Structure 1
């Protein structure tokens, strides 16, 4: 296994700061990465003014109408 330079630097920095061994530093960094959660982005619906009313009770007809508008 080969570690990238930035990972080695982070491990070495943690070892120096905490006076711990290589395995312990590596395990702490890996566990921190496993706990990290990606930030959730807020969903925002995009809308577009059609300047018309669409009866959506017949979905197929509504989709055909909207498709025709895109190709105009």
Structure 2
């Protein structure tokens, strides 16, 4: 570093602001990942509910088809 940069009265302020920026950016990246994980979990639950409804529906279809063979 040059002498003018080291002796500048703003060095501490710039360092402080830069560290806060890096910390905030890291925190926001974590929030973004958390939001993505929540979105994926919601999608998985929605798909599981849909799959359960389809299993129930098709089990009824198979049941009625089986009963049709009896009569």
Report the TM-score, using the length of structure 1 for normalisation.
0.31
- Structure whose CA Rg is larger: 2
The structure, 1 or 2, with the larger RCO (C-alpha pairs under 8 Å, 6+ apart) is 1
Higher helix share: 2
